[in-house]
Chain A
Amino acid sequence: MRIRGLLSLVIATIMISAYVLVVRQNQPTAASAAGRSADWAPSRTPDGQPDIQGIWTNYTNTPFEVFDEKDNPALYSGDPDGTGRGTGPGFLNDSLGRNLTKGRSLVVDPPSGRVPIMPWAEEKRNYRLAHIQDDWVNFTPWERCITRGVPGGIFPTGYGSGYQILQGPGYVAIVYEMIHEARIIPVDGRTHVGSGIRLWNGDSRGRWEGNTLVVDITNYNAKGNLATNAASQRVRSVPQSEDLHVVERFTRVDEHTINYDAVIEDPKVFTAPWKVAMNLNLEQEYKLFEYACHEGNHAVPNTLSAGRTKDRAAARAGSQ
Chain B
Amino acid sequence: MNWLKGAAIVVVSGILALAISQMMRQPVEGQVPGMKPPRMADGKPNLNGIWQAMGTAHWDLQDHNARSGPVLELGAIAAVPAGLSVVEGNEIPYQPWAAAKKKENYENWLTRDPEVKCYLPGIPRATYMPYPFQIVQTHNNDILMAYEYASASRIIKMGKTEPPPVDTWMGQSAGRWDGDTLVVDTIGFNDQTWFDRAGNFHSDALHVIERFTPKTPDLVDYEVTIEDPKVFTRPWKIQMPLYRRQGQNAQLLEFKCVEFVEELMYGHLRKKTGDDKPFAAARMRWP
Chain A interface residues toward B at CB < 8 A: 45-47, 53, 133-136, 144-147, 164, 166-171, 173, 175, 179-182, 184, 186, 190, 193, 197, 199-201, 223, 287-290, 292, 294-295, 300-301, 304-305, 307-308, 311
Q: Check if A136 sits within 8 Å of B270, measured CB to CB.
A: yes
How far, in Å, is B281 (CB) from chain A's closest CB? 20
Q: How far is the CB of B247 from chain A (nearest CB, A)?
A: 11
Choose one: B152, B155, B249; the contact of A288 (CB below 8 Å).
Answer: B155
B142 within 8 Å of A (CB atoms) = yes
CA distance A199 to B253 in the complex (A): 8
| Complex alpha-carbon distance, A193 and B249, angstroms | 8
A residues in contact with B155, CB < 8 Å: 164, 166, 175, 288
When chains A and B are docked, how far (Å) is the Cα of A62 from the Cα of B201?
Answer: 47
Q: Is B73 close to A, CB under 8 A?
A: no
Interface residues of B in 83-119 (CB under 8 A from A): 117-119
Cβ-defined contact, A173 with B136, below 8 A: yes
Other than the given A146-B259, A175-B153, A197-B253, 12 more pairs (CB < 8 A) read A136-B270, A144-B262, A164-B142, A166-B138, A168-B136, A180-B151, A180-B153, A184-B252, A193-B249, A223-B259, A294-B119, A304-B270
Query: Residues of A contacting B48 with CB < 8 Å?
Result: 168-171
List chain B residues, Cβ under 8 A from A164: 142, 155
The residue on B at minimum CB distance from A311 is B271
20 contacts between A and B (CB under 8 A): A147-B151, A147-B256, A166-B136, A167-B139, A168-B48, A168-B135, A173-B136, A180-B151, A180-B170, A184-B251, A184-B252, A190-B248, A200-B254, A290-B120, A294-B117, A295-B119, A300-B266, A301-B269, A304-B266, A308-B271
B168 touches A292 (CB 8 A): yes
User: Closest CB-CB distance, B160 to chain A, in whole Å?
Assistant: 15
A46 with B139, Cβ < 8 A, contacts A136-B270, A144-B258, A146-B258 known: yes
Whether a CB of chain A sits under 8 angstroms from the CB of B137 is yes
Known: A199-B253, A200-B254, A294-B119. A180 touches B269 (CB 8 A): no
Complex CA–CA separation, A181 to B138 (angstroms):
18
Residues of B within 8 A of A180 (CB): 120, 151-153, 170
Given A134-B271, A290-B169: A168 in contact with B258 (beta carbons within 8 A): no
For B169, list chain A residues within 8 Å (CB).
Answer: 290, 292, 295
Say yes or no: is B18 at the interface (Cβ < 8 Å to chain A).
Answer: no
CB-CB contacts of B32-45 with A at 8 A, as 1s and 0s? Answer: 00000000111000
Tell me which residues across on chain B come within 8 A of A167, comparing CB atoms: 136, 138-139
* Cross-chain contact A171 with B256 (CB below 8 angstroms): no
Closest chain A residue to B262, Cβ basis: A136
Q: Which residues of A contact B152 (CB under 8 A)?
A: 180
B120 proximity list for chain A (CB < 8 A): 180, 290, 292, 295
Interface residues of B (CB under 8 A from A): 40-42, 46, 48, 117-120, 134-139, 141-142, 144, 146, 150-153, 155, 165-166, 168-170, 192, 248-249, 251-254, 256, 258-259, 262, 265-266, 269-271
Min C-beta distance of A209 to chain B, whole Å = 22
Q: How far is the CB of B208 from chain A (nearest CB, A)?
A: 16
Residues of chain A contacted by B141 (CB below 8 angstroms): 53, 166
Q: Are A305 and B269 in contact (CB under 8 A)?
A: yes
Docked pose: A307 CA to B150 CA in angstroms: 28
B153 is contacted by which of A147, A181, A199, A305 (Cβ under 8 Å)? A181
Query: A173 touching B46 by the CB < 8 A rule?
Result: no
Chain A residue nearest to B38 (CB atoms) is A169
> Which residues on A sit within 8 Å (CB–CB) of B42?
46
Please name all residues of chain A whose beta carbon is closer than 8 Å to the beta carbon of B146 when the two chains form the complex.
Answer: 173, 182, 184
From residue A162, how far is it (CB to closest CB) to chain B in Å? 11
Residues of B within 8 A of A288 (CB): 155
Closest residue of chain B to A194 (Cβ to Cβ) is: B249
Q: Cβ of B144 and Cβ of A182 under 8 Å apart?
A: yes
A190-B249 in contact (CB<8A) = yes
Residues of B with C-beta under 8 A to A289: 166, 168
Q: How far is the CA of A215 from the CA of B48 in the complex (A)?
A: 21
Would B253 and A135 count as touching, CB distance under 8 A? no
Closest B residue to A144 by beta carbon equals B258
Q: Are B266 and A301 in contact (CB under 8 A)?
A: yes
Q: Which residues of A contact B266 (CB under 8 A)?
A: 136, 300-301, 304
8 Å CB contact of A166 from B144, B248, B251, B259: B144
Q: How far is the CA of A223 from the CA of B152 in the complex (A)?
A: 21
Closest CB in chain A relative to B141 CB, distance in Å: 7
Which A residues touch B135, using CB under 8 A? 168
Q: Which residues of B contact A45 (CB under 8 A)?
A: 138-139
| A68 to B: closest C-beta gap in Å | 33
In whole Å, how far is B100's beta carbon from the nearest beta carbon of chain A? Answer: 26
User: B251 to A182, Cβ gap below 8 A?
Assistant: no
* Contacting pair B256 A200 (CB below 8 A): yes
Note all chain B residues with C-beta closer than 8 A to A47. 41
Residues in A whose Cβ lies below 8 Å from that of B258: 144-146, 294
A26–B254 Cα distance when bound, in Å, is: 43
Contacts of A147 in B (CB 8 A): 151, 256
Contact A182 B153 (CB under 8 A): yes
